[in-house]
Amino acid sequence: KNQVEQSPQSLIILEGKNCTLQCNYTVSPFSNLRWYKQDTGRGPVSLTIMTFSENTKSNGRYTATLDADTKQSSLHITASQLSDSASYICVVSAVNNNAGNMLTFGGGTRLMVKP
Amino acid sequence: NAGVTQTPKFQVLKTGQSMTLQCAQDMNHNSMYWYRQDPGMGLRLIYYSASEGTTDKGEVPNGYNVSRLNKREFSLRLESAAPSQTSVYFCASRFDRDSGNTIYFGEGSWLTVV
């Protein structure tokens, strides 16, 4: 069964500090991995996408890494801001097949940035 | 830029009542989805529509029905609501089911069944 596990479940950091969120997956055959940000009371919004051949991708203060061999990804947030307080969801796509959509969602990491 | 719009935002139902969640997207997307999100769990797929005129069951379809009314609209119906259906529901869409396409989510519908 395809699974996506995220850690930690929750995290509290001080404004200006860095943090790293982890995602481990057992999705096969792997197509891509996305990180989504979900603000409280809102829908998830895509931050970045990683394909099999990519091992690092940045989007502003967010940097995602992917190790396809160990099936791990991380999301590093630099110089955190209060607006970074949200849940971060790792979503792994399997290669398309006739069964249709093949997205597996992690349970998310809830980040709180305190002043 | 409306994107994916879903209504209602909040709803309280009594056990056994029925209701329909409405979803519309204005991005000319072919594929649309309904998910539910429960505390501590990842989003789970209820139903999806790969293209206009087709619908398929996802991971947790029991107790739900869907209608792809046209390319823009995809509704989710609870025929006889149960407390286990208390959840946050998200409608989503993407251009087509190619895994490289970004999936866009609505703002969510909070449903409580008492």
Residue B70 amino acid letter: N
pLDDT digit string (tens) for A51-108? 888 899 999 999 999 999 999 999 999 999 999 999 999 999 887 655 455 788 999 9
Cis peptide before B8 (omega within 30 of 0): yes
pLDDT tier for residue B107 given thresholds of 50, 70 and 90 = very high
Q: What is the mean pLDDT of residues B72-85?
A: 97
Task: Write the DSSP symbol of residue B103.
Answer: P
| Contact (CB, 8 A) for B17 and B33 | no
Mean of all residue pLDDT scores within chain A: 92
- CB B102 to CB A31 under 8 A? no
- CB B45 to CB A45 under 8 A? no
**Sign of the C-alpha dihedral computed for residues B101, B107, B113 and B114 taken in this order:** positive
Q: What is the mean pLDDT of residues B37-47?
A: 89
- CB B99 to CB A4 under 8 A? no
- Report the residue of B99, B102, B110 to disrupt the A interface, i.e. the one with the largest count of A CBs within 10 Å: B99
Residue B40 amino acid letter: G
Smallest Cα distance from B103 to chain A, Å = 8
Q: What is the mean pLDDT of residues B74-86?
A: 97
User: Would the pLDDT of B97 be above 70?
Assistant: no
- Going by their DSSP bridges, the two strands A56-59 and A62-67 should be labelled as antiparallel
Mean of all residue pLDDT scores within chain B: 93
Smallest Cα distance from B8 to chain A, Å = 14
Residue B1 amino acid letter: N
B positions 4-63 inside 8 Å of A (CB): 4, 31, 33, 40-45, 48, 50, 56, 58
Smallest Cα distance from B94 to chain A, Å = 11
pLDDT digit string (tens) for A11-35? 999 999 999 999 999 988 888 999 9
The two three-digit tokens of residue A65, written as one number: 């890494």
For position A40, what pLDDT does the model report? 92
More confident position, A69 or B100: A69
